[in-house]
């Protein structure tokens, strides 16, 4: 117990760092995921091609390699951001590909006739997608999206290797101070468990309220 009590501020900074990464990257992933899902089903070929390329590249690129590409590659093009923002960008873009595919599977569950009816009323593709199709699609994929964001929270541990303050990285400091490595990781694991259970509870609540009854 003294590992936690003696280093509560260290654990606290790491825990808050992981929470911030998870929240900001999740918001980015959701926004990009919705956008790319829209591109995947757009009537414009170039948009479909862009959405497909986005998903194909990011889903088949190791996250660690993407971190290297973002943190080391973007500054060469004059983009100077903090390590945390670079980490949010890498995590958010990577996860957006999985969010996109989850949403696209939900879009496929919406009857085609609803989109046709909306267009017959004079609604544009964007209006149909935003007000008719995507809201229904999201209701049917709340659980998969929640699982994807839980994976994002755990993937944020990679950011610690790139000078970003997060929970897993606290083990290096505590190890150097001579604390028992097993108990150090026990409290780190408990911190991740709190974060992932919170996300799970939030999406379970959303599914009960808005999910499609099966």
For each of the chain's 214 residues, which pLDDT tens digit applies?
A: 666 666 667 778 889 999 999 999 999 999 999 999 999 988 899 999 999 999 999 999 999 999 998 888 888 888 888 889 999 999 999 999 999 999 999 888 888 888 778 878 888 878 888 888 888 888 889 999 999 999 999 999 999 888 888 888 887 777 766 667 777 788 888 899 999 999 999 999 998 887 665 5
How big is the chain by its Cα radius of gyration, in Å? 20
Torsion of CA 18, 19, 24, 28, to 10 degrees: 80
Q: How far apart are CA 42 and CA 75, in angstroms?
A: 33
* Entry pTM: 0.89
The 8-class DSSP code of residue 164 comes to: -
Q: Say what the pLDDT of residue 3 is.
A: 67
- pLDDT value for 177: 65
């Amino acid at each position: 117990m003294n590992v936690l009590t003696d280093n509560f501020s260290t654990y606290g900074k790491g825990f808050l760092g992981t929470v911030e990464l998870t929240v900001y990257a999740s918001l980015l992933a959701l926004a990009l995921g919705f956008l790319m899902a829209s591109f995947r089903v757009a009537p414009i070929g170039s948009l479909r091609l862009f959405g497909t390329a986005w998903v194909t590249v990011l889903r088949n690129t190791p996250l660690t390699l993407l971190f290297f590409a973002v943190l080391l590659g973007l500054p060469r093009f004059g983009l100077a951001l903090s390590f945390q923002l670079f980490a949010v960008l890498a995590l958010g873009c990577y996860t957006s590909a999985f969010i996109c595919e989850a949403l696209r599977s939900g879009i496929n569950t919406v009857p085609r006739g609803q989109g046709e009816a909306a267009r017959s009323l004079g609604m544009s593709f964007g209006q149909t997608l935003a007000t008719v199709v995507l809201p229904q699609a999201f209701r049917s994929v709340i659980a998969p999206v929640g699982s994807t964001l839980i994976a994002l929270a755990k993937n944020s541990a990679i950011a610690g290797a790139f000078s970003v303050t997060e929970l897993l990285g606290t083990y290096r400091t505590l190890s150097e101070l001579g604390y028992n490595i097993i108990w150090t990781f026990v409290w780190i694991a408990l911190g991740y468990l709190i974060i992932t259970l919170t996300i799970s509870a939030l999406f379970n609540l959303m599914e009960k309220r808005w999910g499609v009854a099966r």
